Amino acid sequence: MSKAFASQSDLTDKHISFTQLSPHCWAYTAEGDPNSGVIIGDKYILVSDATATPLMAKDLIAKIRTVSDKPIKYVLLTHYHAVRVLGASAYAAEGATEVIASKGTYDLIVERGAEDMQSEMDRFPRLFRGADSVPGLTWPTMVIGDGKPGRQGSLRIDLGGVQVDIWHPGAGHTRGDTIAWVESEKVLFSGDLVEYLAGVYTGDAHLAEWPTTLEALRALQADAIVPGRGEAMRGKADVNKALDYTKLWVETLFKCGQEAVAQNMDLKSAMAHTRQHMDPVFGQVFIYEHCLPFDVSRAFDEASGIQHPRIWTAERDKQMWAALQA
């Protein structure tokens, strides 16, 4: 029997936690579902990753309002994926005036935002509760950086009593990944550059570059991290656990892809080869079965010399899924 497509059979709501990590930093997590981060200053609030729909964003806003009535002035898009950004319009009523993204993220929205929106809505029906409340693509009002990795062109925001630095540390999950860093409290909001005990989606990734980007994050020596998926981690040792987990996934996957190409395997054989190495280590984590077909497809492409990830459409998603089912 073929597996249900992507996460279409995942219909069980997850338990949401809203956890304070430091005097100004909070994590909004949900048992492996996409996380958001919140930084609360004396004057303003910043939300990192807006959630998938305005209706779902209202759940996060309600949590924020239990601890602060300050304007949610800033919304950061850590990357372009629909499940992270399409809730952004909900924050306008809460005081949002700026939606921030890197140049790489802006370029990807232009190039593939519409296709990604339809693709992800089909993959994750539970995560797009209230999809009819989405007014369209989310466009940044503030684009930062020059598209190159590093802190040149980084943005510093003063929320009142706490400053936040935002920049593109390098490609990985996408070519536009952006982080928020609260230096004074050593808290990192990584987006999907880092995951923990959850599937690491690499369908739009730059696998060869990702480990270098992870080491750039490690160099910050964070005391806490809000990863894209998985629990928020506190203490340098646990932050490193999350970095190591993500790096092991990425390096194992890409090595399998390189081996498959070197041995002239087709994509279905590459999937079987990858499973031999990935299943024993990662097979039990949340959304593993969802991620793996997309991940193997991208690893096979990149190992074959396709440096710029191909655009996923709803049609391509289903064709690939059917082709890789045993």
Q: Check pLDDT > 80 for residue 224.
A: yes
| Contact status, residue 121 vs residue 134, Cβ threshold 8 Å | no
Does a structural domain hold residue 263?
no
Q: How open is the CA angle 201-134-8, to the nearest 5 degrees?
A: 45
Q: For residue 144, which phi and psi values (nearest 5 degrees)?
A: -115, 155
CATH code assigned at 93: 3.60.15.10
For residue 165, tell me if it sits in a domain: yes
Residue 210, pLDDT score: 98
- The mean pLDDT of the chain is 94
Nearest C-alpha neighbor of 41 from the set 23, 27, 57, 58 = 23
pLDDT of residue 1 exceeding 50, the answer is no
Residue 128, CA distances (Å) to 83, 95, 186 in order? 7, 23, 32
CB-based contact 261:300 (threshold 8 Å): yes
* 179 within domain boundaries: yes
**Widest Cα–Cα separation across the chain:** 59
Q: Which pLDDT tens digit goes with each residue over 178-198?
A: 999 999 999 999 999 999 999
Q: Is residue 312 part of a domain?
A: no
**Residue 298: C-alpha distances to residues 206, 211, 277 (Å):** 9, 16, 17
What residues make up the domain containing 156?
17-252
Number of domains in the chain: 1
Examine residue 48 and state whether it is found in any structural domain, yes or no: yes
Give percent above pLDDT 70 in the chain: 96
Task: Give the CA dihedral 256, 179, 243, 205, nearest 10 degrees.
Answer: 0
Average pLDDT over residues 93-118: 96
Q: Is residue 277 a part of any domain in this protein?
A: no
307 in a structural domain: no
Residue at 232 is within a domain:
yes
